[in-house]
Amino acid sequence: MTKKDYILKLLDAISPASLVIAGDLKVLIEANQISDELLDSLILIFWNALKNTDNAIEKDKIEKWINILTSLKNKENQSMITDQTDIENLENLINQI
């Protein structure tokens, strides 16, 4: 599964109440390659959503999404994701949302 696939899967799991622009982000990501700058922008969008949310349950979900994106970014910076175990761990995090 590619970086793009993970982000699209994550956006599919987001409810419109949590992040109104999730659908728009999905369209943007489907049409483009995922650069480091785009990944940084997505993380910033989630941080802003976290700051603007008072609901504890929604905050917990958004924090998980930020952790997933940050983990993905760190792994990409270290090397190409080749270890299937790491990929399965990321999928488990996404499935917990």
0.85 exceeded by pTM: no
d(CA 50, CA 44): 10
- Give the count of domains, the chain: 1
Tokens of 31: 């049409």
- Taking residues 78-94, report their average pLDDT: 74
The two three-digit tokens of residue 88, written as one number: 């399965």
Domain of 77?
A: 3-95
Q: Give yes or no for residue 84 having a pLDDT over 80.
A: no
pLDDT tens digits, residue range 7-55? 888 888 877 767 777 788 888 888 877 788 888 888 898 898 888 888 8
Q: Which residues contact 10 (CB under 8 A, 6 or more apart)?
A: 65, 68, 69, 94, 97
